[in-house]
Structure 1
């Protein structure tokens, strides 16, 4: 049997961290302090170290480059195109997605000059193939809003239906019919549950406060309208 042509690869973890700030969908980016792509914006991430799982690498890099830690992450894909990283012809990355409500301003660590939230519609010129990774992650988040209860992860522990609707409008880039949305959300078993309290924010009529319910999957799913920018 002829010997097989095996390649030795290096493994990295890259993170797409999404939040809603001031009514806009934002992603966490760092400014690269080292070559390649020094000075360019990039997703937080770095190389797997000895003794680590790839999930541990993702958590460590997030803390080192941004000072954020403890965020639950979900693997969204593996990117293995040859020469995707100028440092080595075979660098493969595992990309992770995290979603959380109105996260604080990050603090750059040793591996990054700057860490900041940037509205999605202002992102451009990302290092490596991070533009593709970001696009895939955002589409994953948008799809998850249809079939799961992940939208509540963008909200504080207690929220109004209007605040939940804003998440859908911001992430999907759509306008949602208010009465229809309210009915679907409150009729969906385990999606949200009332807290018994009301919010008086904004000075208007008090609105019922809800918390995330126990369901993880939406039955029936939310229908995603056509995007405003389409």
Structure 2
């Protein structure tokens, strides 16, 4: 049996970066296709990070530290539930992308909201102190926001994962 333990804490990778999550971290990239959006455009749920947090004031996906023995998918769903009122029941897992820094990883878990086809995505409220706002942002408008540096680097690599193409 794998011992369960909190992953809260700082870790350093072989690249010399300082990261939150002793056992790595994961985030949930939720894709939603709103009725009337152009073909190839999805809405992405973004979190505006609280000023006190690491890279505070930037936009990224809900996520956080992996606990010992927890899968990336479990972490991403748990963190999304801790940070938002998103109902993770009606989401369909699509893909994962692992950003491996050597000794530390961040896994982006890509899911599609199963309640698609409505004119607007359901409102999602902030839960907890790590976010100041949650917002559905068109995938072709993400470059207009001040993105978390890690998400800004990863977005070009994950933007097509699970994308609605027609």
Structure 1 unaligned runs (5+)? Answer: 1-5, 83-89, 143-150, 152-166, 169-230
Greater C-alpha Rg: 1
How many residues end up aligned between the 2 structures? Answer: 133
Q: C-alpha distance in 2, partners of 1:122/1:20?
A: 14
The alpha-carbon deviation at position 60 of structure 1 amounts to: 0.6
Who is 2:112 aligned against?
A: 99
Which protein is richer in helix relative to its size? 1
Higher relative contact order (CA 8 A, sep 6+): 2
CA–CA distance in structure 1, aligned partners of residues 64 and 95 of structure 2? 15
Does residue 63 of structure 1 match 2:84? Answer: no
Q: Distance in 2 between matches of 1:50 and 1:140?
A: 27
C-alpha RMSD over aligned residues = 2.6
Runs of 4+ with >3 A deviation: none
Once residues 153 and 124 of structure 2 are traced to their aligned partners in structure 1, the CA distance between those partners, rounded to angstroms, is 23
> TM-score, normalization: structure 2?
0.68
1:118 aligns with 2:137: yes
Segment of structure 1 superposing worse, 114-123 or 102-111 = 102-111
Q: What is the CA–CA distance in structure 1 between the aligned matches of 2:77 and 2:126, rounded to whole Å? A: 15
Q: Gapped runs of 5+ residues in structure 2?
A: 1-12, 15-21
Partner SS state of residue 124, structure 2: coil
Kindly indicate whether residue 156 of structure 2 is the aligned counterpart of residue 135 of structure 1: yes
Distance 1:132 1:141, change over 3 A: farther
